[in-house]
Amino acid sequence: MRLYKDNNKTLSIAIFILVLLVFAASIAGCSRDPKVRRDKYFQSGKNYFDKGQFAAANIQFRRAIQIDSHYAEGYYRLGLTSLKLGQWQEAYRALNKALEIDAKHVPARLELAGLELAARQTGAARSDVERVLEQDPNNFEGHLLLGQISVVEKDYKQALQDFDVSGQIAPQNPVSFGQSGDIYLAMKRYPEAKQAFEKAISLNAAYLPAYLDLAQVYRIEGNPSAQLETLQAAAQSNPKQAAPYMALASAYVQFGQSDHVADTFSRFRKATGDAPESFLAIGEFYFASGDAFHANEVLLEGLAKDPHNNSIRRRLIELAMTQHDWDKAEKLDGELLKAEPKDPAGRIFKARLEFEHGAKATAVSTLEQLVHDVPEMALPHFYLGLAYASEGEASRAIGAMNDAVQHDPNFIWAYVTMGELHLNQGSTNLALEFANRALQLNPNFVPAMILQSNAHMQAGDYGTATAQLEKMSAAQPNNPLLLERLAVAYGNQKQFARAEHALEAALQAQPEYVQAMMDLIQLYRARNQSERIINRLLQQIAQAPKQASFHELLGEAYLAKSELKDAEQEFEVALKLNPDSTVTRIQLSTIYSAQNRIPEGLRIVQEAIQKHPDYLDGWFRLGGLYEQAGNVPEAENAYQEAIQRNGDYVPALNNLAWLLCENSGNLDMALSLAERAKAKLPNDPNISDTLAWIQYRKGLYSLALDQFRDLTRKSPENAVYRYHLGMTLFQVGREDEARQSLQLALSSQLRPKYASEAKAVLAKLTN
C-alpha cells in the first residue's frame, strides 16, 4: 500500500507538472500571438484617447499597426488621434490607409470627408460622403456633411435641403436645426434663424451652439437685453463650459457694462471648482482683449493652484513675450522644458527668446530642427518664417508661411503675417489679399482688420483706413488695440487732437497699455510738446503703479533732460517691479557711465549678461564701460564676445575695429571688421568714419579722402569728421584745404587728443 501511494503521489506530481507546462505554453502562445498583442496596444490606445491623453494614444495605435499593417480600425483610430493633435497630414494618411484596407469603413470615410472639407476640397469631400450614402442612405452624419459642403460652396438652398433630410433621419438631434439656423443667419433671414435655434434648444437645453448663435441674431437686431438673457441662459444650461461665460463677458464689455465681467468670471470659477481650465479661459479672454495686466494676474493665480499645469504656463510665456518681458518668459520656458524637454511650444518659445537676445543663427537652427522633428506641425513653420523675416529674408519667410498654411489651411495668423510681410515690401495689394483671406476665415478677426487698415494707410488711402477703424471702434468702443491704430491713422493725417483723444481712450480702457503710452509720447514730440511727457507719465503711473515699463519710460524722459538722479530712481523702481529686466539694467548702466561710476556700471551690466549670455547689447555696453575705464584689452574681449554670438552685430564690429585702429592693433583685421559693418549699414556715418580712418592709418589716403569729404558735406558741424578730413588733406598735400578744415575742427569742441594733433599739423603748415 505504501508503495502504491508513493507511486500514485509521484504520478500526481507528474500530471500536475504536465498541466503547468501546458498552461504556461498556452500563456506563452498567447503572448506570441500577434493578434493578442495588437489588441492589447489598441485597447491601451483607446483608454488613453478616452482620457484625452492623445500623444500617448498615438504611440499605442502606432504600435498596434506595426504588429498588423492591415488593421483598418487601427489606422482609423490613429487618424482620429492625429486630428486631436492637429497633425492634419498624418491624419489624412492614416484615414486613407484605413480605407485602402477596408473601403467600406464608414467612420473613416466620414472623418476623411470632414478633413477634406476643412481644407476646402469640397469635390473630394462630396465624393466620399456620397460613397457612404450608397452604403447607408440614412446615415445622419453623411447628410449633415453634405449640408456643410453646400454651405462652403455657398449653395444655401441645397444646404437647407440636406439639413432637412438629416433632421428627418434624427428628429430629436438639435444639430440639423442649428445648422439650418446658421444658413438663415447668413442669408439675413433672422425670424427663421431664431425659430431654428429655438427649436434646437427645445430639443436639447444644453446645446450650446444654438444659444450662442441666437445671441448673435439678437446682437444684429440691436436687442441687447435679449442677447444678454440668451447668454445667461446658455451659462445656466452649460455651467462648466467656458464659451457662454466668455461670450457674456464680451457682451458686457460691448454694452459698456464691464463692471459685470468680474462677477461673470467668479460664477464660472465657482461652477468649475476653480478648475485650471477656468483660469486658462479667463486669462485667454483678457489676453485677447489686450488687458495684459488682468490676464497675467489670473494666469498666475491658476499656476499657483496647479504648478504643474503647462497649458497655463505656455499662455503666461506668450503673454510675457507680448509684453517684451523676456526674463520672465525665459524663466517660465525653462520650467516648461525641464518638465517636457521635447515640447514643441517650449522649443518655439526658446527660439523666439534666442532671437530677441540677438542669437539669430541659433534661433533659426532651433526652429529648423523643430520643423525637421515635427514637419506636420504648422506652428514651427510659422515661427521659422518670422525668423527669416526678421533677418530680411522675405522670400524664405513667405515660403515658410506657405508651408504653415499647407499644414493648416485655417491658420489665420499665417495669412495675416504673410500680409504684413508683403506690406513691409511695399506690396499693398498682396497685403490686402492676405488680409481678405484671413477675414474669410473670421470676419471679426481684429489683427486682419488692422492689417487691412495699415495697408490702406501705406497706400496713402487714409480716408478708407480711418473709416474702417472708426467702424470697428464703434462696434468695439473699448478695444485698446483698435483705438491705438485709429490714433495712428489720425496722426498720419495731422489730426493730432483726435489722435490724442483716441490714445487717451485706449489708456482709459486699459491703463497698463504700454504701446498707447509710447504713441502718446511720440505725439507730444511731434507737436513740440515734450514738456508734457513727464507729467503725463506720472499721471498714468498713478493709475497703473505696477507697470514697470511706465517707470522705464519716465526714467528715459528724465534721462533726456539730464536729470540723472530722478532717472536713476525711476529705473530702480522699474527693476524692483521687474527684477529680471535686462533693459532696465542697461539703462542704469548709462547713468552710471554718465556719472563715471564705472564699477557700478560694470556690475549691473555683468548681472544682465549672467542672466542672458546671448544679450548682445549687454556685451556692447560692457565693452563701452571698459573703454571708458581705459581697459582696452577687456573692451576688445567684450566686443569679440558679441561678435562670436552674432557675426553681423554692427555696433561691436565698428567699435572693435576702432579700438584696433587706435591702439596699434591689427589694422588688417580692423579693416575687415569695418568693411563688414559697412556692408550691413552702408549709410551709417559713424561706420563710414571708422572705415575711412582705418584706411587713413593704412596709408590709403585717396580712399579715405572721398569718404571724409562726403561725411563733412552731410554733417558740416561734426568736429571729428572735420579733423579727420584735415589730417587726410594734409597727407595728400592739399595744405590750404587741410588748414581750413583743421581750424574749423578746432573752433568746435574737439577732444583734447585730437585737438593736440590738429595743432601740431597746423604748426607744420605755418612753418
First to last CA, the chain: 145
Give the C-alpha distances (Å, rounded to integers) separating 532 from 172, 523, 524, 547, 575.
66, 10, 7, 20, 24
- pLDDT over 70 percentage in the chain: 95
- State yes or no: pLDDT of 18 exceeds 50: no
Cβ count within 10 A of residue 280: 21
Stretch 384-392: mean pLDDT? 79
Helix intervals (H) in 170-275 = 175-186, 190-203, 208-221, 224-237, 242-254, 261-272
Q: From 641, 647, 639, select the one nearest 623 (Cα to Cα).
A: 639
Reported as a single tens digit per residue, the pLDDT across 51-96 is 888 888 889 999 999 999 999 999 999 999 988 887 888 899 999 9
SS3 499: helix
Grid look-up 465681467 returns: 261
Report the distance separating Cα 379 and Cα 678, nearest Å.
36
Q: Show Cβ contacts of residue 157 under 8 Å, excluding neighbours closer than 6 positions.
A: none
Q: What is the DSSP string of 666-699?
A: -HHHHHHHHHHHHHH-TT-HHHHHHHHHHHHHTT
Q: Please give the grid coordinates belonging to residue 16.
A: 500536475
Q: What is the DSSP letter of 238?
A: S
Report the distance separating Cα 141 and Cα 179, nearest Å.
12
HSE of 638 in the Cβ direction (CA atoms, 13 Å)? 25
- The answer to whether the CB of 708 falls within 8 A of the CB of 725 is yes
Reported as a single tens digit per residue, the pLDDT across 300-312 is 999 999 999 999 9
- State yes or no: pLDDT of 450 exceeds 70: yes
- The answer to whether the CB of 299 falls within 8 A of the CB of 279 is yes
Stretch 341-349: mean pLDDT? 88
- State yes or no: pLDDT of 22 exceeds 70: no
Phi-psi bin for 374: left (phi > 0), alpha (psi -120 to 50), beta?
A: beta
Confidence of residue 655 (pLDDT cuts 50, 70, 90): very high
In this structure, the chain runs to a length of: 767
Q: What is the DSSP letter of 664?
A: T
- State yes or no: pLDDT of 13 exceeds 60: no
Query: What pLDDT shows up at residue 476?
Result: 82
| Helix (H) / strand (E) containing 260 | none
| Lowest mean pLDDT segment, chosen from 110-119, 167-176, 320-329, 419-428 | 320-329
Q: Please give the grid coordinates belonging to residue 609.
A: 549678461
- What is the pLDDT of the chain when averaged over all its residues? 88
- The answer to whether the CB of 236 falls within 8 A of the CB of 243 is no
- The answer to whether the CB of 390 falls within 8 A of the CB of 408 is no
Q: Please give the grid coordinates belonging to residue 271.
A: 461652477
Q: From 325, 377, 614, select the one nearest 333 (Cα to Cα).
A: 325
- The answer to whether the CB of 398 falls within 8 A of the CB of 415 is no
**Crossing angle of helices 261-272 and 276-288, rounded to 10°:** 160
Reported as a single tens digit per residue, the pLDDT across 700-724 is 999 999 999 999 999 998 999 999 9
Q: What is the DSSP letter of 532?
A: G
Grid look-up 452624419 returns: 141
Summary count for the chain: helices (H), strands (E): 44, 0
Report the distance separating Cα 673 and Cα 578, nearest Å.
37
Q: Please give the grid coordinates belonging to residue 669.
A: 583685421
Stretch 658-674: mean pLDDT? 91
Q: Please give the grid coordinates belonging to residue 107.
A: 467612420
- State yes or no: pLDDT of 99 exceeds 70: yes
Q: Please give the grid coordinates belonging to residue 720.
A: 571729428
pTM above 0.85, yes or no: no
- The answer to whether the CB of 310 falls within 8 A of the CB of 336 is yes
| Helix (H) / strand (E) containing 96 | helix 88-101
- State yes or no: pLDDT of 209 exceeds 60: yes
Reported as a single tens digit per residue, the pLDDT across 471-522 is 888 888 888 888 999 999 999 999 999 999 999 999 999 999 999 999 999 9
What is the rounded radius of gyration, in angstroms, for the C-alpha atoms of the chain? 35
Q: From 617, 673, 669, select the one nearest 641 (Cα to Cα).
A: 617
Grid look-up 483678457 returns: 286
HSE of 104 in the Cβ direction (CA atoms, 13 Å)? 3
Report the distance separating Cα 591 and Cα 562, nearest Å.
9
- State yes or no: pLDDT of 767 exceeds 90: no
Q: What is the DSSP string of 697-763?
A: HTT-HHHHHHHHHHHHHH-TT-HHHHHHHHHHHHHTT-HHHHHHHHHHHHHS---HHHHHHHHHHHH
Stretch 115-143: mean pLDDT? 91
Confidence of residue 729 (pLDDT cuts 50, 70, 90): very high
Phi and psi torsions of 547, nearest 5°: -85, 100
HSE of 590 in the Cβ direction (CA atoms, 13 Å)? 20
Sign for the pseudo-dihedral over CA of 606, 608, 611, 617: negative
Confidence of residue 29 (pLDDT cuts 50, 70, 90): very low
Confidence of residue 323 (pLDDT cuts 50, 70, 90): confident
Grid look-up 495699415 returns: 454
Question: 188 or 446: whose pLDDT is higher?
Answer: 188
Report the distance separating Cα 389 and Cα 442, nearest Å.
25
Sign for the pseudo-dihedral over CA of 453, 458, 463, 464: negative
629-766 has CATH 1.25.40.10 classification: yes
Q: From 66, 308, 96, 118, select the one nearest 58 (Cα to Cα).
A: 66
- State yes or no: pLDDT of 586 exceeds 80: yes
Report the distance separating Cα 162 and Cα 129, nearest Å.
12
Query: What pLDDT shows up at residue 32?
Result: 64
- The answer to whether the CB of 487 falls within 8 A of the CB of 502 is yes
Tell me how many degrees the CA angle 388-392-397 measures, rounded to the nearest 5.
35
Grid look-up 524663466 returns: 331
| Helix (H) / strand (E) containing 240 | none
Q: 32: buried, middle or exposed (CB in 10 Å: 19+, 13-18, 0-12)? A: exposed
Q: Show Cβ contacts of residue 288 under 8 Å, excluding neighbours closer than 6 positions.
A: none
Domain locations in the chain as residue ranges: 2-29, 629-766
Grid look-up 428628429 returns: 171
Report the distance separating Cα 693 and Cα 673, nearest Å.
13
Q: Show Cβ contacts of residue 552 under 8 Å, excluding neighbours closer than 6 positions.
A: 570, 571, 574, 581, 583, 584, 587
Q: From 385, 474, 461, select the one nearest 428 (Cα to Cα).
A: 461
Report the distance separating Cα 21 and Cα 364, nearest Å.
61
SS3 506: helix
Confidence of residue 34 (pLDDT cuts 50, 70, 90): confident
HSE of 56 in the Cβ direction (CA atoms, 13 Å)? 11
- State yes or no: pLDDT of 256 exceeds 90: no
